[in-house]
Amino acid sequence: MARRRGLRRLTVLLLTLALVAGGIYTAVYFVQRSETLVSERCTAKAAGRSGELAPDQAANAALITAAAVRRGLPPRAATIALATAMQESKLRNIGHGDQAGPDSRGLFQQRPSQGWGTEAQIMDPYYAVNAFYDALVKIPGYETLDITDAAQQVQRSAYPKAYAQHEEMGRAFASGLTGQTPAGVQCTLRSPTAGGNSASVATELDQAYGGVDSRVDGSTLVVDSQGTLAWSVAQWAVANAKDLSVVRVEAEGHTWQRASGDGWQVTGSPDGQVRITVRTADGGS
């Protein structure tokens, strides 16, 4: 009888250990494999400065910066615009205002009642950012003004000093997204859930920069560019990777691989091309 009870206890103990081991294995596997635990974010580093944005904020930052590049404005203009948009809307195209400006709308919280345009125009991010730059370039010496002073002269905010708190983020992202800092912007993202379209990437790129020489090659958009512009385009693609299902970007002998999460890696020599590859419908690239 005692022997039978001993065998029963041993059996129960072995089963318990097996269940515990199985639970540990499952938990470890889940932590290692499940992308639901990936914290999606985009970071920028430049000259000792750094900033972090959510992917949707980074995409808007890329749009704002590309507009500055397209217009031939200095990176300082993009820095001012980014700090302003972060303060006004958290870099999101919001369709409402606040108590101080109930008709404020969009990335820069511009007001139809203050002559910025119609509500529909202001809610168009391309219109809004160019309206901001149109006002900024009219300020004498804006390039040498403190960022908060330049922003305030455009915005006429009730909180004129608030823009300063976003200066470091603005400088870091402006430097990377204008191409002044190579490999300065990178994003950590989950795998795309849907296929991308390289032709759609071409359309978005042309709308952002205008006149960029590119061609579609299957799931890859090939852009003929080098130097600063190449890095601007490449980091624009990384900042837009989530919405456009971009899985790989190659530029100036470097590669950003979405799946690796390792940031930009040296993979070859510059060849005068930027390659932006999207996920195909079957999950490949």
Mean pLDDT per 10-residue run, the chain (285 residues)?
56 53 42 57 96 98 98 98 97 85 92 95 98 98 95 83 94 98 98 96 97 95 97 98 98 97 94 96 68
Nearest alpha carbon to residue 176 among 218, 233, 126, 221: 233
User: Both 90 and 125 in a single domain?
Assistant: yes
Nearest alpha carbon to residue 63 among 37, 91, 30: 91
Q: How high is the pLDDT of residue 32?
A: 39
Q: How high is the pLDDT of residue 100?
A: 67
Helix (H) / strand (E) element for 231: namely: helix 227-239
Residue 12 in any domain: the answer is no
Q: How high is the pLDDT of residue 11?
A: 56
Residue 244 in any domain: the answer is yes
User: Both 165 and 208 in a single domain?
Assistant: no
User: Both 251 and 222 in a single domain?
Assistant: yes
CA-CA-CA-CA torsion sign (86, 92, 97, 99) = negative
User: Both 61 and 151 in a single domain?
Assistant: yes
237 burial via Cβ count (<10 Å: 0-12, 13-18, 19+): buried
The amino acid that residue 172 corresponds to is: A
Domain of residue 131 covers 51-177
Residue 17 in any domain: the answer is no
Query: Please, are residues 107 and 128 in contact by the beta-carbon 8 Å criterion?
Result: yes
Q: How high is the pLDDT of residue 17?
A: 52
User: Both 158 and 218 in a single domain?
Assistant: no
Residue 164 in any domain: the answer is yes
User: Both 136 and 224 in a single domain?
Assistant: no
User: Both 130 and 168 in a single domain?
Assistant: yes
> What whole-number distance in Å separates Cα of residue 49 and Cα of residue 70?
24
User: Both 153 and 202 in a single domain?
Assistant: no
Q: How high is the pLDDT of residue 19?
A: 53
User: Both 81 and 163 in a single domain?
Assistant: yes
Helix (H) / strand (E) element for 76: namely: helix 75-89
Place of tokens 């004498």: 140
Nearest alpha carbon to residue 59 among 107, 98, 122, 130: 107
Quickly count: other Cβ atoms within 10 Å of residue 251's Cβ. Answer: 28
Q: How high is the pLDDT of residue 5?
A: 55
**Number of domains observed in the structure of the chain:** 2
User: Both 171 and 141 in a single domain?
Assistant: yes
Residue 22 in any domain: the answer is no
Nearest alpha carbon to residue 125 among 61, 43, 211: 61
Q: How high is the pLDDT of residue 97?
A: 75
